[in-house]
């Protein structure tokens, strides 16, 4: 059986040189769901779900440049704005250190942003160690992401942008990988609403996961580095010409975050690079841990 270490590196993203040195343990607690660790030094601070924080980090902040997006996957998640530049309602499932909702709050000051995080310990750590304070238009719900989606489907609430960024210490929770869940997420989107999902660029689930997203959304954009971000639409997928126009318009807003919007354009691909005969993941067939751990 293959160990999960190399996969975890991709999931939580490799950190640039600013935090490669040994960091001190600032906080440790056992929550209802996992071990939660915070490591840091004078330059950076990181949230981890494993004690060996050198292997994989869930969230990090550059204390010298707190607005800078340290992980490339967070930059790619903002590629969703190159499909829909001004969403008025956003759902972010998975808080981590609060990087994405905090950044979206700055970029979209008038948007309603709802954040769902199952673990109260993560919410406390985001506040106490990463400075996450929900803005006037942000709400945090301490709830399982799938339960929240199901609950919102019984209301009139719909979102123009949904971001899936929920991880445990290994990978995305199994019940958030299935066709049934993704179908519920699509229903919760407004017409032509956008989904952004943070996944692995390489894992034993890649074939099945890709085929599952395709079964629910049809064609989607794959943006890949150490992580993969899937961008899909509840309607026709915007073309690359629109992506380029929106990137040019967003570039000035993205520069303070440490990257150019136009640098993402080359990552947008609809190429089918997986086995289309792979089995779709369902509530009855979702062996995520088995697939991730086996050769």
The answer on 136 and 187 residing in a single domain is yes
pLDDT digits (tens, 9 = 90+) for 190-216: 999 999 999 988 888 999 999 999 999
Which residues in the chain show pLDDT less than 50? 1-20, 294-295
Residue 52 is predicted with a pLDDT of 75
Residue 168 is predicted with a pLDDT of 75
Lookup: tokens for 55:
């292997």
- The two most distant CA atoms of the chain are separated, in Å, by 50
Residue 53 is predicted with a pLDDT of 74
Lookup: tokens for 183:
């179908």
The answer on 233 and 150 residing in a single domain is yes
Domain end marker among 13, 37, 62: 62
Alpha-carbon distance 229 to 73, whole Å? 7
Domain, as residue range, for 17: 5-62
CA distances from 150 to 114, 172, 191 (A): 15, 18, 18
User: Residue 149 is part of a domain; what is its CATH number?
Assistant: 3.40.50.150
Q: For residue 104, is it within any domain? A: yes
User: Residue 140's closest CA among 166, 101, 103, 190?
Assistant: 101
User: Residue 91's closest CA among 6, 25, 201, 176?
Assistant: 176
The answer on 193 and 53 residing in a single domain is no
Which positions are annotated as active-site residues? 165
The answer on 52 and 136 residing in a single domain is no
Contact 80, 163 (CB under 8 A): yes
The answer on 80 and 31 residing in a single domain is no
Residue 21 is predicted with a pLDDT of 55
pLDDT digits (tens, 9 = 90+) for 143-175: 999 999 999 999 999 999 999 999 876 788 999
Number of domains in the chain: 2
Residue 11 is predicted with a pLDDT of 40
The answer on 120 and 256 residing in a single domain is yes
Domain end marker among 36, 62, 88: 62
Contact 114, 132 (CB under 8 A): no
The answer on 243 and 107 residing in a single domain is yes
The answer on 194 and 283 residing in a single domain is yes
Domain end marker among 41, 62, 83: 62
Looking at every residue in the chain, the average pLDDT score rounds to: 89
Provide φ and ψ at 2, rounded to 5°.
Answer: -80, 140
Residue 124 is predicted with a pLDDT of 97
The answer on 135 and 14 residing in a single domain is no
Burial (CB count within 10 angstroms: exposed 0-12, middle 13-18, buried 19+), residue 52: exposed
The answer on 209 and 106 residing in a single domain is yes
The answer on 78 and 52 residing in a single domain is no
Residue 171 is predicted with a pLDDT of 84
């Amino acid at each position: 059986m293959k160990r999960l270490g190399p996969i975890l590196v991709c999931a939580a993203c490799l950190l640039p040189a600013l935090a490669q040195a040994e960091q001190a343990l600032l906080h440790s607690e056992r929550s209802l769901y996992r071990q939660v660790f915070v490591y840091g030094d004078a330059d950076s601070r990181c949230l981890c779900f494993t004690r060996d924080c050198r292997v994989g980090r869930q969230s990090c902040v550059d204390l010298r440049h707190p607005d800078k997006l340290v992980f490339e996957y967070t930059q790619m998640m903002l590629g969703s704005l190159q499909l829909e530049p001004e969403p008025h309602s956003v759902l972010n499932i998975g808080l981590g250190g609060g990087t994405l909702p905090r950044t979206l709050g700055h970029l979209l000051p008038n948007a309603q942003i709802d954040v769902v995080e199952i673990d109260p310990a993560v919410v406390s750590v985001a506040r106490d160690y990463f400075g996450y304070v929900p803005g006037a238009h942000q709400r945090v719900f301490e709830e399982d992401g799938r339960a929240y989606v199901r609950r919102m489907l019984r209301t009139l609430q719909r979102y123009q942008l949904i971001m899936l960024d929920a991880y445990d210490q290994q990978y995305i929770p199994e019940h958030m990988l299935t066709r049934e869940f993704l179908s519920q997420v699509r229903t919760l989107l407004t017409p032509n609403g956008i989904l952004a999902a943070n996944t692995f660029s390489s894992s034993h689930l890649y074939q099945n996961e890709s085929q599952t997203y395709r079964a629910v959304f049809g064609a989607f954009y794959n943006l890949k580095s150490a992580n993969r971000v899937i961008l899909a639409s509840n309607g026709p997928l915007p073309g690359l010409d629109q992506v380029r126009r929106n990137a040019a318009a967003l570039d000035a807003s993205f520069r303070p975050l440490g990257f150019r919007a136009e640098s993402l354009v080359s990552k947008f691909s609809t190429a089918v690079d997986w086995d289309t005969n792979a089995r779709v993941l369902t509530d009855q067939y979702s062996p995520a841990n088995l697939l991730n751990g086996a050769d």
